[in-house]
Amino acid sequence: MSPPWPKLASHVMFSPEHPVLVQADGSILLDAHHARADEAREALAPYAEIVSAPEHVHTYRLSSVSIWNALALGRGGDDVKIDVGRFSRYGIPPNVVSNIDGWVRRYGRISIERDDPDERDPAADGGLRLVFSDATLAREAASTPKVAALLGPSAGSCAFRIAPIARGEVKWALVKMGYPVEDRAGFGKAEPLAFRVRDGEGFDVRDYQRISVDAFAPRGAPHAGHGVVVLPCGAGKTLVGVLAAERVRASVLVLCTSDAAVEQWVREFRDRTDLPPDAVGRYTGRSKEVRPVTVATYSVLTVRRNGEFPNLALFSARAFGLVIYDEVHLLPAPVFRVTASLQATRRLGLTATLLREDGREDDVFALIGPKRYDVPWKTLERQNFIAEAECAEVRVAMSDAARGLYASADPVDRFRIAAENPAKTGAVQALLSRHSDRQALVLGVYVEQLRALAEAIGAPFVCGETPAAKRELLYAAFRRGEVPTLVVSRVGSFALDLPTASVGIEVSGTYGSRQEEAQRLGRILRPKNEKAHFYTVVSDDTVEVDFALRRQRFLAEQGYRYRVEMHGKPGGVA
């Protein structure tokens, strides 16, 4: 039967009014200035990953994981070609159509099922089977060494028994082979925990938060409850996690990025639910409480002693029924390995972006689950759920002395020299003066640079060395409006809840990290009755400009635009 979209795959078709070029290598070019660019961007978002987003042309890439995530969200195989093709100037090249069809065909061909009790083999009761759509695919998997090592006895021509402990490793190995696995085996017994979220008692649950929980764990779907919810920074992902825990009705382990994030999660469970305070515990470097709701940091779990990770025992310290991975795009490798053995436990990943700088998006797909819900940043901005934001890149010249040091330095050292350009202090002071009636966060990575900057502008400085009690006092004073400006190191890049901040000034970053850029913008996106302003300050005519362009890619794909200013030049920062 011929496909229903023949014109969309044709090179002959030419529609000059369309904003997209689909190329034979699978890349997609979007004219960012086209009248239909925003419409095309929303159509591409479910299926393609952003690669680069300079000022005029944005580049996307179709991949197996991006297509599988779209299928998991209920999109059909033909939807990909129709939604992408209707914006394509020349149609979709035939080989790209073939690639899409291949990825679609691979989806749903392998599943993990709960083994039926077998009177002839009592040991099989409660086991698992890996089921293939056909015998040829089963033989291909059995001939792949990394998969074969995990397979048990044959369970027919199209199935093998697998050990429950190997459930995650099997899914991981098959994704690497190019086949996603549909996990239908359900979950094990967990310690029950029933509580109620106090919706309407001082706060309201938003529609998209409820929808995201329904997508993660639909009522009446016993095998559901594993996957990722993608929401913009400031959209209330923590409350989504609490709502998911209410839905699952089992003990919860929350993993997050910092002690500040731990405190945010603890507050959310205690303030938003009817749980008694002692039901919620912290598992950090300072406290080792294992409670029905336990909140831990990734860093404490990855502490290594004598080649071992002793704190990973937390995963088995209680019969947790749900593990929540906050900022799942930052999941460290040791926790990935433990997660492979946690497949009988419900797993929820929360993030503002599935982008991983290490390229391990397929690991998140295999071990946490597919994307269950996603909403564009600009959609929530239009609905006033996050603040409208204006972004700018402020370029600062280097002094002759600094320029000489930069020019003679080893190439690997030039980025830091540019990032710590002393002339940035004047630009920061000018920006703070421009927004003297607003509360501001100054963000960076180099402690000595930030300490000197804090002294120059007369603002408190918070870094990893700042005692936790002092940090909380400063954060509380900022929330009350008593501190107009805070200078914050990496501890402020993720899960820092300072909703009154409306100005963010980034003076240094982690090379070209897109996720860090998105998270930093997110610090100032809590809803407010004023526009937020985000500035990234870079040294002009240095490698820092190139890295800044990479950092901005994800936000540009979300619809944010960076204007460029020159500090000290007419029309720039005074």
Token pair 């564009």 is found at: 376
For residues 30 and 37, give the distance between their C-alpha atoms in angstroms, rounded to a whole number: 7
CA distance 162 to 427: 61
pLDDT band at 497 (very low <50, low <70, confident <90, very high): confident
pLDDT at 492: 66
Identify the pLDDT of residue 162: 94
> 29 or 9: whose pLDDT is higher?
29
Tokens of 375: 């909403």
pLDDT at 10 over 60: no
pLDDT, one tens digit per residue, over 72-112 is 888 888 888 888 888 998 889 999 999 999 999 999 999 99
For residue 180, what pLDDT is reported? 94
Confidence of residue 171 (pLDDT cuts 50, 70, 90): very high
Rounded to whole angstroms, what are the CA distances from 39 to 10, 19, 31, 432, 555?
22, 10, 12, 36, 16
DSSP label at residue 305: B
pTM value is 0.81
Q: 405 CB contacts (<8 Å, ≥6 apart)?
A: 417
Confidence of residue 272 (pLDDT cuts 50, 70, 90): very high
Q: Is pLDDT of 560 > 70?
A: yes
3-state helix, strand, coil in the chain (%, to 5): 40, 20, 40
Q: What is the pLDDT of residues 376-410, one digit of tens each?
A: 788 888 888 989 999 999 999 999 999 999 999 99
pLDDT at res. 527: 82
CATH of 382-566, one of 3.30.450.20, 2.30.40.10, 3.30.365.10, 3.40.50.300: 3.40.50.300
430: Cβ–Cβ under 8 A, 6 or more apart, which residues? 567, 573, 574
**pLDDT per residue as tens digits for the range 518-555:** 888 888 988 888 899 999 999 999 999 998 888 887 78
pLDDT at site 517: 86
Where b means 16+ CB within 10 Å and e means fewer, 149-181 reads ebbeeebeebbbbbebebbbbbbbbbbeeebbb
Q: Is pLDDT above 70 for 116? A: no
Of the candidate ranges 118-122, 245-249, 414-418, the one whose mean pLDDT is the lowest: 118-122
> pLDDT confidence of 182, banded at 50, 70, 90?
very high
For the stretch 406-461, pLDDT in tens is 999 998 899 999 999 999 999 999 999 999 999 999 999 999 999 999 999 999 99
In the predicted structure, residue 2 carries a pLDDT above the cut 80 = no
pLDDT band at 357 (very low <50, low <70, confident <90, very high): low
Percent of the chain past pLDDT 90, that is, above it, reads: 52
pLDDT for the residue 460: 96
pLDDT of res. 115: 78
- Tell me which of 520 and 222 has the higher pLDDT: 520
Q: Decide whether 207-375 matches 382-566 in CATH topology.
A: yes
Q: Hey, which of 12-21, 93-102, 334-343, 357-366 has the most confident mean pLDDT?
A: 93-102
Average pLDDT, integer, range 559-568: 86
Confidence (pLDDT) at 7: 42
Within a 13 Å sphere around the CA of 42, how many CA atoms are in the beta-carbon half?
8
Domain range annotation of the chain: 6-106, 110-183, 207-375, 382-566
| pLDDT beyond 70 at 126 | no
The phi, psi pair for 493, rounded to 5°, reads -80, -25
Answer whether residue 265 shows pLDDT above 90. yes
List pLDDT tens digits, range 472-490. Answer: 899 999 999 999 999 999 8
Architecture of domain 207-375: 3-Layer(aba) Sandwich (3.40)
Choice among 323-327, 368-372, 492-496 with the minimum mean pLDDT: 492-496
pLDDT-derived band of residue 494, with 50, 70 and 90 as boundaries? Answer: low
Mean pLDDT of the chain: 87
